[in-house]
Amino acid sequence: MTNKMISRVEGQELILERVFNAPRELVFKAFSEAEHLKHWWGPRGWTLTVCNVDFRPGGIWHYCMKCQDKNQGDFYGVESWGKAIYQDIVKNEKIELVDFFSDAEGNELEGMPSSQVTITFLEHEGKTKLINVGRYASAEALQAVMDMGMEQGISETYDRFEEHLQSLQ
């Protein structure tokens, strides 16, 4: 893996940057279509058993990640539901959404931090630089998701994304 994720915390924002060896149009497409997302979204050992995407402002992405890896101990067989509501989309350039933990019906889970996310796709020497900024209600809410291992989870997710992009080219 040549491109490692850069992550930093600034107050109540988590900023993630990574360069993917793929054209911007492909990176954007793989972020916006269920048939791509189900191949790479989630940490290693987890698969999307549900992935419903209505990719438009006001549309919803509702998904379920399930741990299929027996080596992950207590996590094996666990389901984690998530939901995003798309707010603004600029094709091949930007996706803005609100992201939160949900139940199978799509109801937001009480007491779990949600975030306002802006994903920017930039041309970078024939590759694509992806910048993901997640803004939380407070520094404490951000710390709560960091304590859940989100940084490692996103790093593994981005590794899987790179592998998926390579398989398409």
DSSP class of residue 112 equals S
Domains of the chain: 6-43+88-168 (3.30.530.20)
What is the H or E stretch that residue 155 is in?
helix 150-168
pTM of the model as a whole: 0.93
Spatial separation of the C-alpha atoms in residues 169 and 131, rounded to whole Å: 22
How do the pLDDT tens digits run along the chain, 169 residues long?
457 899 999 999 999 999 999 999 999 999 999 999 999 999 999 999 999 999 999 999 999 999 999 999 999 999 999 999 999 999 999 999 999 999 999 999 998 999 999 999 999 999 999 999 999 999 999 999 999 888 889 999 999 999 999 999 9
Q: At what angle do helices 150-168 and 24-32 cross, to 10 degrees?
A: 120
